[in-house]
Amino acid sequence: MALKCGIVGLPNVGKSTLFNCVSSGKAQSANFPFCTIEPNIGSTIVPDKRLEVLESLCNPKRVIPATVEIVDIAGLVKGASKGEGLGNQFLANIRETDAILHVLRCFDDPNIVHVDGSVAPVRDKEVIDMELQLKDLETVENRLSKVQKQAQTGGDKNARKLCDLLLRYRDALEQGKSCRTVALENAEEEQLAKELFLLTNKPVMYVCNVDEASAKTGNRYVEQVREAVKDENAEILVIAAKIESDIAELESYEERQMFLEEMGLEESGVVRLIQSAYSLLNLRTYFTAGADECRAWTINKGDKAPKAAGVIHTDFEKGFIRAEVIKYEDFVELKSESACRAAGKLGIEGKEYVVQDGDIMHFLFNV
């Protein structure tokens, strides 16, 4: 399962520059609105040092890391929910993503035009929030008009539950709040919410694009954003897209590390961005490791062994018998599967086993 994140924001906030840094794609980047019209799509690996360690121990023929798909979506403007600018296209593109990376301009530069004439990241955030909320309100009201009749006359329990959830969403949206601020009461509501595909229900990370001097500590604009989103279920990441662009042009790992050291940074913003996007959706990684291949597999937090097996192939899930599990730390300490088996560090797990992040697994199945 590949994670799909949409990079969104007003025109000229650094979306395409950031996209170029984190993906293998090369989006056009220019100083005028709607430079990005069609969504650019690229993919990048999820950095994971554990996979590098497993590679050094197993010396496999190939190594396959987990990946993230990045979508650079056209800049949004006021009125997008009514089709202004590239609004309808923007909203269709964002609906297809798993999570939102909302880029906010948090730097001053007179040479880069701001679509609204001044730098104000909280205002910019509110513009996009409002457009997404208006579109969601339209969706919610359309569903309510159908579901309320079923809930009142049909005696349909599911319709009543959905109706209750939609009413709570409508109340939040009418107050200018996003759907993600509505607390869900149980797993059943979580499933109903997922099936609605509401834009403001998607996990969001606010990416504060700062100047070079603010890359490490942030600035007053970042603090304004922190204050504005403190009550949201959202994350904030500070990144200097210009620095990341310079790093991306360096060819060797050693050169990039030297550059980071000179800037006083421990790791690149791109690495932090990808890892944060990965955890934003509560995703976890398990590994398969051997002489042929070392590979990282992506699952959801809480997935049990059969579902994790199904990520490799649906037959693995259908015919699941059991899983052999080695903890990553034990594998690193003992150096091989055979040594772990001999030391009693290989566990035999059944259908109810909840896969843990970093587990090294081998599945037995029969179809």
Nearest residue to 305 (alpha-carbon basis) of 342, 333, 337, 347: 347
Instruction: Compute how many other C-beta atoms are within 10 angstroms of the C-beta atom of residue 313.
Output: 13
**Closest-CA residue to 317 (of 332, 333, 299):** 299
Instruction: Note the pTM of the prediction, 2 decimals.
Output: 0.80
CA angle, 68 then 72 then 77, to 5°: 140
CA-based nearest residue to 7, from 32, 33, 31, 42: 42
Q: Which of 235, 232, 184 is nearest to 207 (CA)?
A: 235
Any idea what the Cα angle at residue 38 is, between residues 34 and 40, rounded to 5°?
A: 105
Show the tokens assigned to 51: 């996979």
pLDDT (tens place) for every residue of the chain, 367 residues total: 567 888 888 888 888 888 888 775 443 333 333 333 345 777 788 888 999 999 999 999 999 998 888 888 765 555 544 554 444 555 677 777 888 899 999 999 888 877 777 899 999 999 888 888 988 998 999 999 888 877 777 667 788 889 999 999 999 999 998 998 898 888 888 899 988 989 899 889 999 999 999 988 899 999 999 999 987 778 899 999 888 888 888 877 788 888 888 888 888 888 888 888 877 888 899 999 999 999 999 999 999 999 999 999 999 999 999 999 999 999 999 999 999 999 999 999 999 999 999 999 999 999 7
| φ, ψ of residue 236 in degrees (nearest 5) | -125, 135
Dist CA 285 CA 278 (whole Å): 10
Answer whether 321's CB lies under 8 Å from 366's CB: yes
HEC states along the chain? CCEEEEEECCCCCCHHHHHHHHCCCCCCCCCCCCCCCCCEEEEEECCCHHHHHHHHHHCCCEEECCEEEEEECCCCCCCHHHCCCCHHHHHHHHHCCCEEEEEEEECCCCCCCCCCCCCCHHHHHHHHHHHHHHHHHHHHHHHHHHHHHHHHHCCCHHHHHHHHHHHHHHHHHHCCCCHHHCCCCCHHHHHHHHHHCCHHHCCEEEEEEECHHHCCCCCHHHHHHHHHCCCCCEEEEEECHHHHHHHHCCCCHHHHHHHHHHHCCCCCHHHHHHHHHHHHCCEEEEEEECCCEEEEEEEECCCEHHHHHHHHCHHHHHCEEEEEEECHHHHHHHCCHHHHHHCCCEEEECCCCECCCCCEEEEEECC
pLDDT given at position 264: 83
151 and 159 Cβ atoms separated by less than 8 Å:
yes
Tokens of 327: 């903890």
CA distance 323 to 317: 11
Gap between the Cα atoms of 16 and 32, Å rounded: 12
CB atoms within 10 A of CB 60: 17
Return the pLDDT at 148.
Answer: 84
